[in-house]
Every structure is written in C-alpha cells, then in structure tokens.
Amino acid sequence: HAQKLGITRSVGRTGICYDNAWAESFNGTLKNERVYRTEYPTRDHACFDITRYIELRYNTRRLHSTLGYRTPNEVEEAWHTANIAA
C-alpha cells in the first residue's frame, strides 16, 4: 500500500534510532523554540500557531547546518530547479 502512494517505508531495525533522528531533531527544535515559550488556550490555537511557525519561520528563515546553512525552502527550490530543468 505504501508503495502505491509513493511512500518509502522505514528501513531501520527495531532499536535503531538513526531512521528517526531528523524527526526527533525537528520535534526538539519545535518544542524549544516555540511550544515551551507559548501558552495555548485551545487545541485549535496550538495547531494554528505551530503551523504558522513551521511555514513562516522554520521553513523560510531558519538556517540549518546540515543543509549548508540554507533554509528548507531554499534546498527544496534548488532540488526542483535541478530536477525539473533536466
């Protein structure tokens, strides 16, 4: 089913953390930079605020050392330019 949807399933074995390292890093950053600094009156407010943080800060302005000190949006745009132009 995953293959039909174009999804690559996890290749890690049980107890191997490297497969989820990027997700754990992102979750830690999100919590430290936004969630722990904000009081959310409702679940809807939290969803809106976290989405806004990801789309307007994390993906567009936050530089990542593993991406050559570029933003996720810059890396994605470069990938599309290189692969669509070919």
pTM strictly above 0.75: no
The pLDDT confidence band at residue 15, using thresholds 50, 70 and 90, is low
Across 18-26, average pLDDT: 78
The CA–CA distances, whole Å, from 83 to 7, 72, 75 equal 19, 16, 12
Please state the domain extents for the chain.
19-84
Tokens standing for residue 53: 């943080």
Cα(11)–Cα(47) distance, rounded to whole angstroms? 30
In this model, does residue 9 exceed pLDDT 90? no
Provide the pLDDT confidence category of residue 14 given band limits of 50, 70 and 90.
low
